[in-house]
Structure 1
Amino acid sequence: MSTIPSKHLAVGLTSPTSGVVAFEVPTPQPGRDEVLVRVNWASVSFFELWQTDFKLLVDYPQPLGITIAGEVVQVGENVDVAVGDKVISFGMTSKQERAFQEYALISKHKIGKLPANVLPHEAVSVPDNFVTTYWALFGNLKLPVPSELPAKSSPPEAATPILVWGAGGSTGQYALQVLRLAGYTNVIAVASSHHHEYLRSLGAATTLDYRAKNISEQVLEAAGNPVKYVFDTIADEQYSLQHIAKFVGAGSQVAYLLPVRVGATGAVQGIKQQPDIPFPDGVELIGVKTAIYHLLNEKFKEEIQPKILPKLLAAGLIKPNRVREITGNSLAERVNTALSLLRKGEVSGERLVVKVSE
């Protein structure tokens, strides 16, 4: 194991006008419940794009990145991993746990061992969106929390239609897989038609094309009634929420990922915290705040990343997203290239990943 430096390279924002650049940060020492990880791979998400373009939750200097695959290099005394372990992690509440840097300091509750049967650059596509899915379905929509996955018995509303909008995206793909493992058999997936065959293999019972002019009518026909549970992984006022408002009714719950987008994929004009779309009376709108799931549910904090996710990956019950490695001469170049692809709407059905260090 190489010597741990006192400072290391990070990539992020240093001022409102800096753009995404490299800068040095101090290398922290792990506390009792913390782990220092040498970051090998990171995935690039829309959250980094919103931070870059709209300065969402930025505190300069701000390292970017929220999902890590790497190797443990130093540990606190009260952790369940050891130096040399390969691990994965999702975290976005502190600068020190961010992914686009050579070393990250991570709480033991936000880390899981990487199973030997999963490649690190594929595994890094999983943690953020798996946690988001689990929190949205069982924390926000309050579907019964399975005692284990796969569930040994069917949940009470196993055949109730559950709709995932944006099912072809990273979060949507995990939503289909988790719902299938939890025993739900009537999942409606709304996505581009070229993803439909793959989405059915992940657990979708019905697949619909979001570009259909009568998409709301198609959903109502497939569901038979207003849809009770909706998970909107896109959260765009014009391209998802205005359609969803037409096929829900009193008693429906709509969980949507924050922030809400204004403008289509490839032409996002801004973001906000809640939609201005009118919904029928009696519809509950729930903004999904995955960043603080560990502060809101102790059981989820203790189990999702350290226990549930590694077990499902090891058993092959959760498939990582298809990934595309973005190359370049430096981490800053690789990150900027990936952000440009997301900004222009040139990513569909796959996850962009970058190598951070060897």
Structure 2
Amino acid sequence: MSQVIRYRRLMGYVGVILLVLLGMMPIMAQERGTISGKVTDARTGESLPGANIILVGTFMGTSSGPDGSYSFEAPAGSYTLRCSFIGYATKDVEITVIAGEVTTVDFELSEAAAEFGDVIVVLGSRAERTAVETPVPVDVISEVAVRESPQYELNQVLRDLVPSYNASHQTIADGTDHINPASLRGLGPDQVLVLINGKRRHPSALVHVNGTFGRGTVGVDLNAIPKSAIERIEVLRDGAAAQYGSDAIAGVINIVLKESTGKINVNAMTGANNLLFKKDISLSPEIQEIRTAHGLSPDVRFDDTDGETYSLDINYGFKIGSTGFFNITGEYLDRGRTNRSTTWTG
């Protein structure tokens, strides 16, 4: 019996609370007003979409639409309405919001020549790998970035990871095909200084000829440095001739080698070209006749696979004494030829 009484009493309390809330709803609705208006350029009169309109000291506000108009609700009271837009001077207006009414405030913003404050606008970004606290920004490429690259050779890895660095394979270019001439900031291979652990790396004995890029110059063979031996790569993409000499006009590449011991790293990669490129070559009836007379198929289909590449590298470090080490890396690379020519049909 007592439980029934308690239940009825509880339901009575709930009913009273619901009645009070229902009675307050019209009052609450009347205590809010609407703020609306339009944001335009003071000089041209054009609409400014995306402008920020807020009530200072609150979290209430909105942004202007495509036609520059805005509208939002706020409790009745006095406020400071602020309008801001990138490249324009911020404008404040004192307003009073009346319950159940619409307060119209139009903003005409003037352009600001320069405005510095706490607002930071990011137009674009890259991975956080640049040391900007140094006198000149230096790109630092980690071991992971080098290892995750799909390229087999260090020159090609840097081409993909470093802006303004270029190194392309040359065709019919004698030894230049193996020692790719590298370019930093569009300058020649002999104007890029390469350091190993801060020490100057010797150039190769090959002079680039045969009309290739960097003809007549001698550069450093970066492909002779195994990827597994690299701890990180530091790239200074700015002239440093005053500090290092005339061979650093384009910039400096410092390759820091591993110092790890007691850990073995084994990496293998393979790939090929033209696996998905299959193309039927159209031949005239006369050519098909000639091919048939010579015992050849009248149709030509280009579906060969070429450029097979196999890479295997191993890195291991030995500890010497309490502070010394000996780190060794071996790499095997076999890159097959690439042929895009077809059978001459007369």
Q: TM-score normalised by the shorter chain: which range applies?
A: under 0.3
Scaled by the length of structure 2, what TM-score is found? 0.21
With a CA cutoff of 8 Å and minimum separation of 6, indicate the structure with the bigger relative contact order. 1
Larger radius of gyration: 2
More strand by share: 2
Normalised by the size of structure 1, how large is the TM-score? 0.21
**Structure 1 or 2: more helix by fraction:** 1
